[in-house]
A and B are shown apart, each in its own frame.
Chain A
Amino acid sequence: MTAFGPFAPPPAPEFRTASDVYTYCTEFAARLSGMALEHEISALQLQKALGQIPDDRMGLRSKLKAKLVAGHLKRAAANCEAASMRITGAYLAMVSEAQQNESAERTAKAANAEAARAAKSDGKMTPNAALAAKIAKDY
């Protein structure tokens, strides 16, 4: 039995489809959240256990030292939690970019169609069609 864990092994970073990214991000975020929880609990246990050691100042010195030791584990827990948040943020950013990409493609397609219609009807571009052609060119 291990003292830390057990946790699921980290997923391999291979991204062929969007679902690969989703799986990687969710599995890794779950793993890091679990590690953060383990660190938090262990920090509390360690602080309590070390704080019970008697000394010449009614145990106050032990309690202060125990707090210093447990502080490192608490900071490790905060870092694991922050990493988990960042990984979730990466997936959300990818979804957001994909939506923007799709929206831009749709706009460009509509603008192209409008420009083609205007060109076919009389060869003269209306202001709207000219704007649509400009948008299509930009995208």
Chain B
Amino acid sequence: MSQDEGNAVMYTGAGVRQYCSEARTASRADAINLAEGYRELRKTLRPLLGWRRSHLVAWQLRYAAEHAKQASAHSGAAYISFLKHFQPEVFGRLPKGRRRYAGSRSDFFKR
């Protein structure tokens, strides 16, 4: 993709796929890094502040890791949702385990 096409990434199916895939990978890496940061910070602060107070500082990083994980999941779900609503022939070829929200809501648009 060239520099000029950067803004047009959301106008093709392949562009949406690339965007969502990269966003998912980046958020997942962030979640892993933040979880490791929680463990490291806890290990560093425990001798200085004690068990309880080191937990009070570091638990925010654990929550941040959970948020990053959720962001990763939603990035992936955006592409699956795109397939479901705008490329149903591709969505139909997906294995059932990878079709998110494929329960009773899947036939919402089928009349």
- Chain A residues engaging chain B, CB cutoff 8 angstroms: 1-5, 7, 10, 13-16, 21, 24, 28, 31-32, 35, 38-39, 42, 45-46, 49-50, 53, 61, 65-66, 68-70, 72-73, 75-77, 79-80, 82-84, 86-87, 89-90, 93-94, 97, 101
Contacts and interface: CB of A to CB of B under 8 A. Distances in A.
Contacts of A77: 71
B10 A90 contact: no
Given A1-B3, A13-B40, A79-B70, A90 B22 contact: no
Interface string B39-74: 011001100110001001110110111011011101
A63 B65 CA distance: 33
Interface string B1-38: 11101110111000110110011001101100110110
Contacts, number: 143
Interface residues on B, range: 35 or more
Contacts of A93: 56-57, 60
B26 A5 contact: yes
Contact of B86 (A39, A50, A82): A50
Contacts of B33: 10, 13, 28
A39 B41 contact: no
A75 B78 CA distance: 10
Interface of B: 1-3, 5-7, 9-11, 15-16, 18-19, 22-23, 26-27, 29-30, 33-34, 36-37, 40-41, 44-45, 48-49, 53, 56-58, 60-61, 63-65, 67-68, 70-72, 74-75, 77-78, 81-82, 85-86, 109
A76 B2 contact: no
B49 A53 contact: no
A24 B44 CA distance: 14
A35 B23 CA distance: 8
Contact of A72 (B6, B15, B77): B77
Contacts of A2: 22
A73 B67 contact: no
